[in-house]
Amino acid sequence: DAKTTQPTSMDCAEGRAANLPCNHSTISGNEYVYWYRQIHSQGPQYIIHGLKNNETNEMASLIITEDRKSSTLILPHATLRDTAVYYCIVRTNTGNQFYFGTGTSLTVIP
Amino acid sequence: KAGVTQTPRYLIKTRGQQVTLSCSPISGHRSVSWYQQTPGQGLQFLFEYFSETQRNKGNFPGRFSGRQFSNSRSEMNVSTLELGDSALYLCASSPTTGMNYGYTFGSGTRLTVV
């Protein structure tokens, strides 16, 4: 079962930052937070992951709270091509698989 | 470098038949996982292979099976197809099985059972 809770949908104006929240209050100390996105009918695309510290790459930033019970994915300048379903995943240390949950459907509005 | 390649992209089968899907991971990747995606159930884990060994299996019936070859390529097989097996089947590869490694997904095989 997914260990995360995300809003079902969000809108963001093109060019603005998109901040996607995720709650994972039962996360264990050595479990990673991963973010993937899926554009309709394509395979999920890896965005970023982290354990404790904030992370940044060319696509996004990941902010993890100090207690690790929640995180926020930040797309700094959203474009129309960022419209997708975004999945926040806690990768458990049992089984190694990803539990995707239902994700957040982000719509970037012109 | 080339991504994860899944073949075929689309497939139509009849109830009761069996089907084999293929996945070629990124060169050098030794871990391959399979997922099923349906509108009702979302993305669900099928199984994971590493070095030709199944490391983990999801909650699917025995009709779903897979294997991995020495070159890390993987196949999954579904026998006695049911209408409910219609789905997008996704393969993902990773260099290894560590939790600090992300998986790269292929574009999937869309299976329709009629």
For B42-92, write each residue's pLDDT tens digit: 899 999 999 999 998 999 999 999 999 999 999 999 999 999 999 999 999
Burial (CB < 10 A; 0-12, 13-18, 19+), residue A25, is exposed
The closest of B26, B31, B66, B30 to B46, measured between CA atoms, is B66
What pLDDT score was predicted for residue B86? 97
Please name the helix (run of DSSP H) or strand (run of DSSP E) that holds residue B20, with its range, or none: strand B19-24
A38 has pLDDT over 90: yes
Interface residue B38 vs chain A (CB under 8 A): no
Label residue A36 by pLDDT band (50, 70, 90). Answer: very high
Q: What is the pLDDT of residue A94?
A: 67
Q: Which of A32, A43, A100 sits opposite B100 (nearest CB)?
A: A32
User: What CA–CA distance (Å, rounded) separates B50 from B58?
Assistant: 15
DSSP A70-94: EEEEEESS--GGG-EEEEEEEE-SS
Cβ contact, residue pair B92, A43, below 8 Å: yes
A52 to chain B, any CB pair closer than 8 A? The answer is no
**Residue A95 pLDDT:** 63
Which residues 52-111 of B are in CB contact (within 8 Å) with A? 55-56, 58, 88, 90, 92, 97, 99-100, 102-108, 110
Of the pLDDT bands very low, low, confident and very high (cuts 50, 70, 90), residue A1 is low
d(CA B112, CA B10) in angstroms, rounded, equals 8
Which of A89-93, B12-16, B46-50, B57-61 has the least mean pLDDT? A89-93
Report B:9-28 residues touching A (Cβ under 8 A): none
Confidence of residue A28 (pLDDT cuts 50, 70, 90): confident
Q: Dihedral angle at the C-alpha atoms of B6, B73, A102, A45, nearest 10 degrees?
A: -70
**A100 touches B: beta carbon within 8 Å:** yes
Q: Which residues pair with A72 in a beta bridge?
A: A21, A63
Q: Which of A96, A98, A102, A105 to mutate to test the interface with B (most CBs of B within 10 A)?
A: A96
What pLDDT sits at residue B97?
76
Q: How much is the average pLDDT of A90-107?
A: 83
Q: Which of A32, A43, A46 sits opposite B107 (nearest CB)?
A: A43
Q: How far is B85 from chain A (nearest CA, A)?
A: 17
Residue A98 has pLDDT above 90, yes or no: no
